[in-house]
Structure 1
Amino acid sequence: MALPMKPVFIACLLLMALTGCASKKTADEQQAQTTYQDPRDPLESINRDIWDFNYDILDAYILRPVTVGYMTVVPKPARTGIANVVNNLNEPASFVNALLQAKPRSAAISLGRFVLNSTLGLFGLFDVATRIDLKAQDEDFNQTLAVWGVGDGGYLMVPAMGPTTTRGLVGGVVDGLYFPLGLLNSNLTITRFTVSALDGRERLMSMEQLLNESVDPYAFIKEAYFQRVEFQIYDGNPPQKEEDEEYLDEYLP
């Protein structure tokens, strides 16, 4: 069930769509990298190189400039409508995953959202469902596998996509097979991905400073990713954990 997310979760969500800003390795970041080995991240050296490629090159020279141009040329109401259409395509997957997780209420809401937004909302152009308090549930197969007891697997930084895990990668593939995503041809799939990336990057503009002020942006985003996924799996009420203050101090300015 979708619940309000803290800024760190929102930042991570947007960064997953190839968003972010250029990250230059500082002395503090290099020190943090060498003093802590994360068992969740067995491919850290490779992942960090991919991070640099994603955010120092793809974002700096392609995504951010294109997003700025998109925001300049396309009016805000039109951008919102286009994003709504893309988001509406995910509702059937959310419906199925809610059923697989034994969440009948969430499943009913996702189904109701798809029907309302696809009809009264003109194929999802207008988010009619949210206006009557049927909020997006955002259930996916990654969460379903977690509920079934499947572990995260290794952390991965995917080129042109961002942070995930082996479980998350598998979940994303399965979600893409559901109706109507499974019926989209390659051109429509690319268009959907592009719109999602531009929408996510636009929303991140006001959050860039949060990432820039982190001692180790790579580690910050990794922690944000795992926290966000846990937040989703437990419907906004993850179990309380004792924070490792010594570890956290390594990444705080």
Structure 2
Amino acid sequence: MPKISTPFSRFASIAAGMAVLAGCATIQPPRRDDPYEKFNRKMYAFNDFADRVAIRPAAVGYRKVTNETSRRLISNFFANIESPITIVNDILQGKVKYAFTATGRLAINSTVGVLGLFDPASEMGIDAHTTDFGVTMAKWGVPEGPYLVLPLIGSSSGRDMVAFPVDSYALDPLSWYARNHSFDWNAQYLPIVAYLVTLRSSAMDAEGLLEGVYDPYIFYRDAYRQRRLYKIYDGNPPMEAIQALQGNDNIDVDKLLEEQQQYEKKQKQP
């Protein structure tokens, strides 16, 4: 799926990173490369509040009125619509083969797959992949910049913050549709809202990974950054890149363990 990082898709955009970090997420060492942590934590709290009072309830309601099959068809439909984001960025990254594959998937699923509701391309062995302009900029040599949590957008970085408008405004067909139509009550934005709700809904199964996490902010931050690193290096980052991302030396592991144990005891108290 395209990398639109909003409160609707906050869980979806890092679910893969969550799975990677789940085994060690209960003890997260302090980082020295989060210069805006104070601001980020305030924005994280704001986004978490927005998710709890409005966004997640919308996703829960969506799941109540749909079944698993219909949700899969709807997700297929939106993934197919959003595929131009991947195609254009594949071209910008010089990945002609990947661009050809993504274009083939779009053509097959839009026709044989009935406007993308079904995914015959995968059954034909044409696997899906996604990329975005943030990855493109990274491959062009643009540095990551500081980790940022943006209001009503979520986890980002200096580089991804600049890239976001390119994907979400210039390359997103749903955005094209909204800009070129005008209906009563701004109904032209309903497809975008529906898409974001499906993303938030698809991430609900991963919420259990946060249970027992001492500091969810750190968990989200490191999951996001690790997921982006693996995306940039096509799933195979070099060891030096991993080590640079971790950046955790001079850590008092005993203190971290004690804090985690105290947190778990507090959680067990009635």
TM-score range, shorter chain: 0.7 to 0.9
* Aligned residue number for residue 23 of structure 2: none
Q: Distance in 2 between matches of 1:141 and 1:162?
A: 17
Larger Rg: 2
* Aligned residue number for residue 38 of structure 1: 32
Q: Does 1:125 align with 2:124?
A: no
Q: Residues 113-192 of structure 1 correspond to what in structure 2 (within 5 A)?
A: 113-176=105-168, 177-178=170-171, 180-181=173-174, 183-185=176-178, 190-192=189-191
Contact kept, 8 Å, 2:8 with 2:56, in 1: the verdict is: no
Equivalent AA in structure 1 for residue 200 of structure 2:
R
Q: Distance in 1 between matches of 2:75 and 2:216?
A: 27
Equivalent AA in structure 2 for residue 141 of structure 1:
F
Equivalent AA in structure 2 for residue 214 of structure 1:
V
* Aligned residue number for residue 106 of structure 1: 98
Q: Does 1:88 align with 2:87?
A: no
Unaligned runs of 5+ in 1: 3-12, 21-31
- TM superposition shift of 1:246: 5.5
Contact kept, 8 Å, 1:231 with 1:237, in 2: the verdict is: yes
Do the aligned partners of residues 112 and 89 (structure 1) sit closer, same or farther apart at CA in structure 2, a change above 3 Å counting? same
* Aligned residue number for residue 50 of structure 1: 43
Q: Distance in 2 between matches of 1:76 and 1:120?
A: 22
* Aligned residue number for residue 62 of structure 2: 70
* RMSD between aligned residues: 2.9
> Which structure has the highest helix share of the two?
2
Q: Distance in 1 between matches of 2:211 and 2:192?
A: 26
1:124-144 residue CA offsets vs partner (Å, 9 max, x unmatched): 111221222212220211111
Contact kept, 8 Å, 1:86 with 1:195, in 2: the verdict is: no
Q: Distance in 1 between matches of 2:84 and 2:66?
A: 28
Q: Distance in 1 between matches of 2:131 and 2:188?
A: 20
**After the TM superposition, which parts of structure 1 deviate over 6 Å for at least 4 consecutive aligned residues?**
13-16
Contact kept, 8 Å, 1:16 with 1:163, in 2: the verdict is: no
Percent identical: 33
Q: Distance in 1 between matches of 2:147 and 2:8?
A: 13
Do the aligned partners of residues 48 and 190 (structure 1) sit closer, same or farther apart at CA in structure 2, a change above 3 Å counting? farther
Q: Distance in 2 between matches of 1:189 and 1:42?
A: 39
- TM superposition shift of 1:52: 0.8
Do the aligned partners of residues 212 and 182 (structure 1) sit closer, same or farther apart at CA in structure 2, a change above 3 Å counting? same
Give the TM-score normalised by the residue count of structure 1.
0.78
Give the TM-score normalised by the residue count of structure 2.
0.73
Contact kept, 8 Å, 2:59 with 2:200, in 1: the verdict is: yes
SS state at 1:124 partner? coil
1:88-132 residue CA offsets vs partner (Å, 9 max, x unmatched): 122122112112212122111111111111111222111221222
Q: Which moved further from structure 2: 221-230 or 172-181?
A: 172-181
What is the total number of aligned residue pairs between the two structures? 227
Contact kept, 8 Å, 2:8 with 2:200, in 1: the verdict is: no
1:52-100 residue CA offsets vs partner (Å, 9 max, x unmatched): 1111x21212122222211111222222222222111221221121122
1:201-252 residue CA offsets vs partner (Å, 9 max, x unmatched): 3333332232132211101111111110110111110112445375595489
* Aligned residue number for residue 233 of structure 2: 234
Q: Distance in 2 between matches of 1:59 and 1:82?
A: 22
Unaligned runs of 5+ in 2: 13-27, 180-185, 261-270
- TM superposition shift of 1:183: 2.2
* Aligned residue number for residue 20 of structure 2: none
